[in-house]
Structures are given as C-alpha cells and as structure tokens.
Structure 1
Amino acid sequence: MRNRRASRRGTALAVVAALLAAAGCSAARSGDARPRSGTEHRTIRPVAGCSTASWTDPADLAADRAPARCAPRAPAARPLAQRRKLTIVTGTLSAEYVAPLQVAVDKGEFKAEGLDVTLRVLPTPDALPLLAKGDVDALWAAPEAAVMNGVRGGFDIKWVAGNFSPDPASKSGLWVKLADGESTARVRMADRTMGTMIGKGSVIAYPMQRALARHGGGLDEIRYQQLGSADVLTALQNGGVDSAWLLDPVWRRVDGERGYAFLGGQPLGEPLGGMLYGPALLQDDVDAGVALLRAYIRTVDTYFTGDYKKDPDFVAYLAKLLKTDPTVLESTPSLRMDWEIRSNTVARLQSAYRAQGVAEGTDLPESETVDRALYEEAVGHVP
C-alpha cells in the first residue's frame, strides 16, 4: 500500500507544474496505463428504501426528468469497521450547492457511516495536486478544464457524483445589457465583453456556448473580463462590461429591469459538478468512498426532496448553517439536488473548453473521467 501511494505521489508531482502553469495549457498525456478502478468486481446488494426510482438512465437528458430518489433516511448507514478521517475540499462553504455537505456534517450523517469528515476551503487548482497525491480525499467542485488537463497529465481523479441542476424558474446564467435597438429576440453577442468571476476553463463554458450559439456569437468571439464577485453586477450596470454570468441571487437585481435580457443558464436536469475522488477513495479505500456517497445521498433524500424552501424553519436552519440571510435563500428557487451524472456531459464540457482555447489534444473518454459505480452501489443498483 505504501509503495503504491508513493508511486502515485511521484506521478502527481510530475504534472503539478503543468496543471497550475495556466488554465490554457494542458499537461502532456501520459502513455502509461491508467490504474484500474477499485470498484471493479464489488458485490452490489439491494438497498432497503431504494427502489427503481433511485436510479435514472444516464442517457436521459429530458429537462423535466425527475432526479433519482430513495425514501427518506435511505440508504441506511452501514458503519465501517474502523472509523476513517476524511477531508473534503470545496471552494466555498456559503453557497447553496454545498448545503448537503454542511447538513450531512451537522446532522451526523457522515458520522453514522463511521466517517469523521472535515470540510476545507481551497480553490480547485490548489486542491487538485493534493487530491491526486491522496493528501485530501475528495473535492466538491466540477470537472473543469484544469481537472481534465490534470487527468490528461496523469492524475488519477474521477467525477463520482453530481450536485444539482437549476429549477426551471431560475435565471442564473448569461445576462446582457441591450444596446439601442436590440431586443431579447435579436441579440448579437460576437465582440462583446463578458464579466465573470471564474474566467475561462469553468464548466459554465458549456451552457455559455449553447446560449451564445443562439445569439450570433461563440466562445472564441467574446472578450472575457474576470472580476470579483462584488464587481460583476456593478460592471454590467455601469457599462464596464456588456454581458455577465450572474449567479444566485444576483440575477434578481436585473430581472424585470428594462434594458437587460437573460440569454440562458445551466441546462435543466444536467448537473455540471459534484464530488471528485482521487486515489484514496477510488483505489485504497473504496468502502469509505461508497460510505461517503451513501451519507450524501441519504442527506439529499431526507432534507432536499422537492421544494425544500417551502419550509421556513428549514430555510432558517440552512441560512444559519451557510452564514447567510434567510431572505437571500428565499429569493431564488430551490435547487434540484441530483447525485447522478448524465452521459457525455464531460464530452460536452471538453468541446466548450476547446472552443475557449483552454484544452488541447483529443477528448478524454468517460472511462477515464467518470465513475458511477460508487453511487450505484450506495443505492443498490446493478448496471
């Protein structure tokens, strides 16, 4: 075990510099065979409370697809023989999409599995080499360009569970300030400047690509201006940029205002982020990896089914946990929490990264970037 981890650390360290050098530079793809998944040949047993509704066909991209669900309190905890300390890294602890992790910690769902989980805040580029070396166990983020480039360079990292898709009423996404004579039906995006907190290489490149294609532009035809979270809306309102990607609840400030148009957001029914595992949970301790997802899924099934914001007490509880104002949470629709990963999402993401010029080489196949086996085992689904 020690030699295997040492070997992985050597591989990871060899590509750290390439991964962190720039978002637009992909690491050279290793010619070595990639590690086989530790989930192979594991026995999957039926799980009480998880029926056929606990799994949906990954190829189903219908906007009105009901997300997979087990009964509340299911799947039941199956404590590990020995307690395990795990660290999950996330870019923030205050965003609503992190709420299931916060609730799982607060309600003892991880502890019920024999897991002592610590949530740690760290930007994704800084967390990736730590995840690949096994210094942290999981990353709550997204398969961004940096992740794809890291895998291409040799990192043993896979996307193992989804996080959410938006409510149809949400207008989180691409907003434009209309020029004279423009209307929502006639917007030309080519040559415009877009304000964004994340810049190139984020998963929002995929929904941006879809929205721009409908409005006479492309990812390579707009100018990006990376701004702080407090500056994106101000720049759009003051003319510093003429379009912007506005997140919850910021878009509420321009919704219904004359002169602004919403062009599109994240596809309905298709999570673009969630849980990423490195070798520690993909290879060395798969039992703990399944247990972590089992606790996450149970938390979603128990606390985040349907419109969870209809319960004012739960909204108040979430606001306290996320350290935000309850009225801020109530101002936007509930997220559709969803642990599943759709087919070919990573292919669509990589297409957008190439269009932005932040990825090189051929696309990585799902077999090297996605592993659905852990959540399938957690709910008792046999593929």
Structure 2
Amino acid sequence: MDNYYNILGIDRSAGKKEIKKAYLTLAKKYHPDVDKNDSTLEDKFKLINEAYNTLYDDSKKFQYDNGLTYFTFHNTTSSNTSERRNYSQETNRKREKYKTHVQAEAKKEKRQYKKFAPYIVGGYVVAMIGLISFFVHRQSKLADEAYSSALTNLKENRVRLAHQNVQELLEYEDYTRAEVIQAGIEVLSKKSSTALHYIRKIEDDLKEETPYSGDLYYFKGRAMYLEGDGIGAVQAFEKAYKYNNGDDVIDFWLGKTYNDLLLEYDKAAKVFQKIPQGSPYYDESILLIGISLQHNRQFNLSQRYLLQALNAKKHQALANYYLGWHYKLSQNNANKACIYWETSAKQGYAEALYQYRRHCQ
C-alpha cells in the first residue's frame, strides 16, 4: 500500500493546514504544465492529488489510517464507494521512484535548513542588537536634552523646572547626572551641606573624567562658597574652569570668592576683567571690579569702573554707595560722599542710609 504521508512529505500528526501546504507545494512543482516533455509528471501529479484528497477529508483519512479501505485518484468524487486500483509493473516502478524522490527532497530541505539556521539566528540577533542600540541611543539623546535643559534652568534660577528635569533624568536611568542637577538645586536653595552630600557621593563613584565633571566642580565651588571655605571654593572653581575650557559664570564666582572670602582684591579684579561684554555677568562684574580695586586702594581706577556701573540700573544703588566711599577715603570729601550716599539710600540701599546718617547729619 502506498503511504500517502510519505508522498506529501508530512508526518501522521500533520493537521489540515500542513496537509494543504504540502499539497500546494508539490502540486506547483509537479503539475504537468511545468514540463510537457516529461511524461512522468502527470502520474506524479495524480498521485499527489490522490494523497491530498484522502488525507484532507476527515472521513477518508480515518478509514485510510485504520486500514478500512484503499482510496485511489478515481474515487475522490464519490463518498460511499471504493475500489482497488491495479497498476502495471512499470507504473508501480515509477510510483516507487517518485516516493523515493520525494523523501530525498524532504531530507535535502532539512539539511539546508540546518545549514542556514545559524545564519538565520545570527541575523535575528544582529537585528535585535540594532533595535536595542536604537532605543539606547534614543534614550541617551533624550537624557542629554534633559540635562542641558536643567543647566539652563539652574542658570536662570528656575528651580521648579530643574526639579522636573531631575525626574526626566531618573526616568532615563541617568542617575549620576540627576544627582549633579540636584546638587545645583540645593546650591540655589542655599543648602550647602545637602549639596556637598550629593557632590561627594558622585566623586566617590567617578573613576575618570566625564563630560559633566566641570558642572560638578562648579556646584562644589558654589557650595564651598556658601560654607565660607574660600580655599576649597577656589580649588573647585579652578577644576571646573579646566574641564569647561573657561566659563564666564565660573570667573564670576571665582572673583567673588577672592573678593568676599579670601580678601585677595587684586586677584578678584583680574578674574572679573576676563568676563566678556555681552555676558549676563558683565554689568555686575564691572561693579565688582570697581569694589575690588577700591578695597585694594586703587582709587582712580576704581572710580572709573564704578561710574561705568551706574549705566546698569540694577547696580546703581551699590555703585553710588561705593562712589560715596571713594570720595570719603581718597579725597576726604564728605560733601560729595554724602551726595552719593543719599542717592544710594533713595534707591533702596539700607547701608547707604546708615552711612548718610552717621557722616552727613
């Protein structure tokens, strides 16, 4: 008895979907129209149809599997009749040859699959790596944008927005840079000890220089300034300056450290003079140069900067106050000093009012 499963190249457990798929594949390959010069194709095609019509029909398949009857191509149109078909010796020889050929083709396909399976798996792995790489790159880019936005918000004293940036960085699993921004937030909130807690934790974890090392040391310098540690602040600002290749905000706070904490007025003036025109710190740096030079008793040069500082409305009150001291200290001219102190007091500077009442009334 012919084995219809071998003819179709399928297992006995194959379902209808697999049976139909195997049939369509073989029918396409052995249809008589494929090669009209090959007289064996018609017999092969009939045999394929015979196997398919038997195995695809549940009732016929049941009887075939249980040996109740033997179906041939001719009885596929009848549901209640069956007959045994007798083949000539030549036909049987061809049928056996075909079955052998089908089995050989099936084995060949399995060998080819095993041969190319590693390449298929490798291609899948490469595709997955590419997909993962894309999402990692995308997440890294979003984290960079959030970090850059956070630095801008801190520079503009927008603490609430900087807090939102910290949350974004945490979502992107950029924990270290989130802590850098959090340290900056603590500095703006004048919580120096909390800021230094974050900064020291990051320093302990860092093994090498990073693109955000400059920002880290800048915030450390600001925290040290709040702590009153002038030497520590200068060291931190100098590191930040090196990593950031120079920065006007670092110059500004380095100058304030020299002026306010270390009382090194000459150094303070030189650092303030590095801040370029157009910088948001330029107007205040002009005022601070004048104050530093006055502390260093360079009165004529100091006066020039203090008069220039009067052009910035925001700094007029303080500039008038120190111009009052200029005339008091360098020329002992109380009248002119009192004019500037009175003007400063009217502009809202309380210390000027105190000096006016002390020296002018």
Q: Give the shorter-chain TM-score range.
A: under 0.3
Which fold has the larger relative contact order, with Cα–Cα distance below 8 Å and residues 6 or more apart in sequence? 1
What TM-score do the two structures reach when normalised by structure 1? 0.20
Structure that is richer in helix per residue: 2
What TM-score do the two structures reach when normalised by structure 2? 0.21
Q: Which has the larger radius of gyration?
A: 2
